[in-house]
Amino acid sequence: MRTTRTAPARPVLIAALALTTAGSLLLTPHAAGAEPAPPVTRDQAPLDQRAAQAPASAAERALADEQAAGGAVRGYPREQFLSPDPENPADKSIKLGLTPYHAIAPKLNAVQALGDRVSVEVAGRSAGGHRLYLVTVTAPETARQARAQERMRDLIENSPAQAAKSPEIKAGYKAPVFFNNNIHGNEWEGTDASLKLIEQLATATDARTRDLLAHSRLYFNITANPDGRIAGTRANANGFDMNRDFVTASQPEVRAMRQIEIDKQPAVMLDLHGYVNGTLIEPTTPPHGENYEYDLFLKNTYANALGMEAAVNGLGYTPAKDGVQPAQIPFRDQEEGWDDWPPIFTPQYAAFHGTVAAHTVEIPLQVNNAAYDSLPVAELRRRSAVNVDVAGAAIRATLDFVRAHRTALVNDQIEVFRRGATGAAQVPVSSETVPGVPGIGPEDVYTTVFPRAYVLPGGTKATATARLVDHLLANDVRVTRASHAFRLGATTYAKGSYVVDMHQPKRGLANVLLADGRDISDKVSVMYDISGWSLGRLWGATVEPVPAGTLKGLPLRSVSEATAVGHVAPRGTLRLRLDDPQAIAAVNSLLRQGVPVRRTADGGSAIVPASARQKAAELARRYDVAFDATPFTGTQPLHRTRVAAAVTSGELFALREMNFEVTPVSTAAANAGFDWSSADVLFVSTGLEYGDLTPSARTALDAFLDAGHGLVGRGVTGAELATATGLLAAKPVEGNGDANGVVRVVNSGPVTAGAPGHGFVYAPVWFTDLGPQVRVEQSYATGNPLVSGHWRPSADGGGGPLAAAGQPSVVSGPQSVLFGTEPLFRDHPKGEFPQVAGALFRVADAG
């Protein structure tokens, strides 16, 4: 679940939207209008025994058609045998009576063999190496029919005006629907509900099921987080909450989900979570994401939510008997605190790929965390069974909605892409523009004005620019590159500059990634999670919005990948600018290989001897960085830097991404006898408290620091350790703990030399009462430093952005550096990473 903060309740409004679905999709053999058929015998025989008797004639026909067509596009079904995983009796889902991960592949093998509707593909692998299973359920298609579906899908995105008039799409396009399960590993039951439904759909013979599958493709991501499912953790094996990662896409599971969104282009999707009682069904409270077509999104999401609410409540569970409260819809039932502002969540990200009804659904009864360990097994299994039932009801109601509204849903998806492609203005929500949705007020109106284009000039930030361009392309944002110098607006740009034309189908996503964002502090009192994330400000590349102008006649050509910028000067000593995380990774690789590297006096570059040119050439290709010729020889040697790190999962991942050798440490590890000889520097942001160390652990840490090894600290925990060990005198001041976003900063010291003029904060900190040897490396800008995000004063009137203005945000001493910003937050603000690397290099051998 997205653990919500307490917010005042919005008065419940009477639903005024009438749905036209003709009853529930019961998936029974004798549903209205169905032909008589034998009852489904799923309880009478094992699934694999029944599957062995199922015909494969449709699969054989599809294969023959595919072979005749040359194999360019496969028809459906697309069956494959999944090798089994080793049985794991420690899988946490077993205690709940749910499907352990190792049982999923056999189930999918069996259900594929039941008929000609179910196909399975491996969409990727998790951080822990487990397969990610994507199941497609649809009526059989020959290769020719599958090609027609792909052609129509392409037309919808790339030629929406033509698609809107296409009789072929109206009559024959299969509406794509996506069900995402178990993205939080210890919110299990969506997986089991989907497996149960897939089995039913594989053999159901009623008319409504046949109609649904003839006009839809249903996609099920069986478990988005197998690592967490097995371990009983919210996060994956890298420690990431993946429902916060969609802007950054640092995790392989998220990249797999992103590709599903791009390739399948779902019109409707559910993301199944737990646990909120009563069942929480989005749409959300304000603020609403300003970059998507919210009128189309709200219309469909609210209508589907009503159907899911009715289906869930219709199961008959009660508070008194079952402990299940009636379902709730935040848009209708709450004022704030459960918003859809940031596109870090799966449904909000889906909206930018044409999904016009996307929901987080939080099933009701808690079975994870403390409940998992404290409740009797029988009660846990009762709760899980209820949750599977609730999740199934939400999925079935969504299928009813899709079956009844397929044409309108596809038309609205086309309209999303048409507005983007033509540069049409957004339509503000109101009772007139979104009829049938009650309670719309000015608090729900969020729109933006898109620039005509963005230009990424490159120049000295070529590595960062190339990384950002490739990230845009991976998100299906269209990018062009100039073959000659050109003028746009009032500026002349060099050959090789990249241009993002904002007249494109997915303009909303382009703007999400590149725009500064917006300060929404005055809009709501509390936000659910982060409120600012601009890649244009935080990824190290120069991004320039062009408000108006014409791109016609400019020398622009579409690109499918960024042009490589890595190179090595053909002769002489080499210089590598340490202004990008990929450059840090390259220099750390050289240091590991024993290359004698020195740094320049300002610390901003590494000097590499000509004898290492071959090694440099390999790293230039791997990391896309430039080793230029230089007359300088450097001043101080750089040494291989091993880091003992008491940090968040995101910080640990970022450190390793920069190729630092990192050993996690904590209070418990230190008390157990941590080997400090394995480290050159200590980085602390969480989990290492000096006052909780045993006397022997304190002695060992003090000896490590007395030997000249330094400390890099972040936030209050890092600052308190610096004070306790006598390394640096600076008092940390905590801002509002709910504050976060992109801030303006002023760099003034060697650690932050060359750093961007923006940083990221999450529960911001600044420093006062500085000792005589403390240098201010960076300060929050004067005035209001917040560019985008949410930062209000605390309840006592302090802790706001005006209190932080002009105050030190990064400080250093002879043996320590402290950060009040979040330069490695969730592996996101790439342009800030070199500050941390510079701090680690400086203090590793401070003595």
Give the start-to-end residue ranges of the domains of the chain. Answer: 47-422, 453-558, 567-638, 642-844
3-class secondary structure per residue, 107-155: HHHHHHCCCCCEEEEEEEECCCCCEEEEEEECCCECHHHHHHHHHHHHH
Q: Confidence band (pLDDT; 50, 70, 90) for 62?
A: very low
Residue with tokens 């509406």: 175
Instruction: Tally the residues of the chain.
Output: 847
546 contacts 492 by C-beta, under 8 angstroms: no
296 contacts 374 by C-beta, under 8 angstroms: no
360 contacts 75 by C-beta, under 8 angstroms: no
- Among 74-78, 314-318, 334-338, 457-461, which stretch is predicted with the lowest mean pLDDT? 457-461
Say if residue 502's pLDDT is above 90.
yes
What is the reported pLDDT for 489?
87
What is the reported pLDDT for 421?
98
Say if residue 551's pLDDT is above 50.
yes
H/E element holding 201?
A: helix 189-203
Tell which residue, 129, 77, 139, has the closest CA to residue 108: 77
What is the reported pLDDT for 2?
55
Q: Tokens standing for 461?
A: 């930030």
Q: Confidence band (pLDDT; 50, 70, 90) for 458?
A: confident
H/E element holding 816?
A: strand 816-819
What is the reported pLDDT for 801?
97
At 445, phi and psi to the nearest 5? -95, 110
Amino acid at 552: K
Mean pLDDT of all residues in 825-840? 97
What is the reported pLDDT for 228?
98
Q: Which CATH number fits domain 642-844: 3.40.50.300, 3.40.50.880, 3.40.1800.10, 1.10.150.20?
A: 3.40.50.880
Q: Tokens standing for 63?
A: 């294969």
Q: Confidence band (pLDDT; 50, 70, 90) for 602?
A: confident
What is the reported pLDDT for 8?
36
- CA atoms of 329 and 263, how far apart (whole Å): 30
Say if residue 650's pLDDT is above 60.
yes
Kindly provide the b/e burial profile for residues 424-460, where b requires at least 16 CB atoms within 10 angstroms of the residue's own CB.
Answer: eebebbeeeebeebebbeebbebbbebbbbbbbbbee
At residue 339's C-alpha, the angle toward residues 426 and 334, to 5°, is 110
**Would strands 131-137 and 175-181 be described as parallel, antiparallel, or unpaired?**
unpaired
Mean pLDDT of all residues in 522-532? 95
H/E element holding 200?
A: helix 189-203
Omega before 133 within 30 of 0, i.e. cis? no
What is the reported pLDDT for 656?
98
Say if residue 51's pLDDT is above 70.
no
- CA atoms of 480 and 499, how far apart (whole Å): 5
What is the reported pLDDT for 37?
35
Q: How much of the chain, in percent, has pLDDT values that exceed 90?
A: 89
Number of H helices, E strands in the chain: 27, 34
Cα separation values, 222 from 132, 190, 445, Å: 7, 8, 35
691 contacts 734 by C-beta, under 8 angstroms: no
At residue 237's C-alpha, the angle toward residues 236 and 239, to 5°, is 65
Say if residue 46's pLDDT is above 70.
no
What is the reported pLDDT for 1?
66
Homologous superfamily of 567-638: UreE, C-terminal domain (3.30.70.790)
Kindly provide the b/e burial profile for residues 353-363, where b requires at least 16 CB atoms within 10 angstroms of the residue's own CB.
Answer: bbbbbbbbbbb
Tell which residue, 541, 461, 543, has the closest CA to residue 500: 543
What are 661-682's pLDDT values in tens digits?
999 999 999 999 999 999 999 9
The verdict on pTM exceeding 0.85 is yes
Tell which residue, 204, 185, 207, has the closest CA to residue 196: 204
3-state helix, strand, coil in the chain (%, to 5): 35, 20, 45
What are 385-394's pLDDT values in tens digits?
999 999 999 9
Q: Confidence band (pLDDT; 50, 70, 90) for 603?
A: confident
Tell which residue, 604, 820, 641, has the closest CA to residue 713: 820
What are 248-282's pLDDT values in tens digits?
999 999 999 999 999 999 999 999 999 999 999 99
Q: Confidence band (pLDDT; 50, 70, 90) for 52?
A: very low
| Cβ burial, residue 631 (10 Å; 0-12/13-18/19+) | exposed
Mean pLDDT of all residues in 643-670? 98
What is the reported pLDDT for 36?
33
Say if residue 47's pLDDT is above 50.
no
DSSP bridge partners of 742: 760, 788
Query: Please, which residues have CB within 8 angstroms of residue 44's CB and are 6 or more apart in sequence?
Result: none
What are 235-249's pLDDT values in tens digits?
999 999 999 999 999
What is the reported pLDDT for 22?
32
Q: Look up the CATH architecture of domain 47-422.
A: 3-Layer(aba) Sandwich (3.40)
- CA atoms of 801 and 783, how far apart (whole Å): 8
Crossing angle of helices 207-214 and 377-422, rounded to 10°: 40
Q: Confidence band (pLDDT; 50, 70, 90) for 847?
A: low
For the chain, what is the mean pLDDT? 92
Kindly provide the b/e burial profile for residues 99-134, where b requires at least 16 CB atoms within 10 angstroms of the residue's own CB.
Answer: bbbbbbbebbbbbbbbbbbbbbbebbebbbebbbbb
Q: Confidence band (pLDDT; 50, 70, 90) for 617?
A: very high
Tell which residue, 592, 742, 615, 729, has the closest CA to residue 661: 592
Say if residue 16's pLDDT is above 60.
no
Q: Higher pLDDT residue, 44 or 736?
A: 736
What is the reported pLDDT for 54?
39
Q: Tokens standing for 315?
A: 């199961």
